[in-house]
Amino acid sequence: MNLIPNPATQIIKSACGGDLKDPSLYPSTDFHGETVYFCNAACLKAFLKSPEAFMAGEVEHPETEEEA
């Protein structure tokens, strides 16, 4: 029996650690050839300033874009 995963029911982890049921609703960018999703635009902005530090957990996740 060959089961094909249904992308609509697949849960994706955001770079911020949250579960995303529909990643198309969230900001994303490419990082080392993979699509990385973010919980909000503020986290994406913080990531773009320092991608390696963000992915290493060295950047605090902002709540608003002004904090990023």
- The per-residue pLDDT for range 4-59, each reduced to its tens digit, is 555 556 788 899 888 998 999 999 999 999 999 999 999 999 999 999 999 999 98
pTM of the model: 0.75
pLDDT on residue 10: 74
C-alpha to C-alpha distance for 25 and 37, rounded to whole angstroms: 10
* Confidence check: pLDDT of 60 > 70: yes
1 pLDDT higher than 50? no
Contact residues for 47 (Cβ-Cβ < 8 A; gap 6+) = 15, 29, 31, 36, 38, 54, 55, 59
Confirm if 56 and 45 have CB atoms less than 8 A apart.
Answer: no
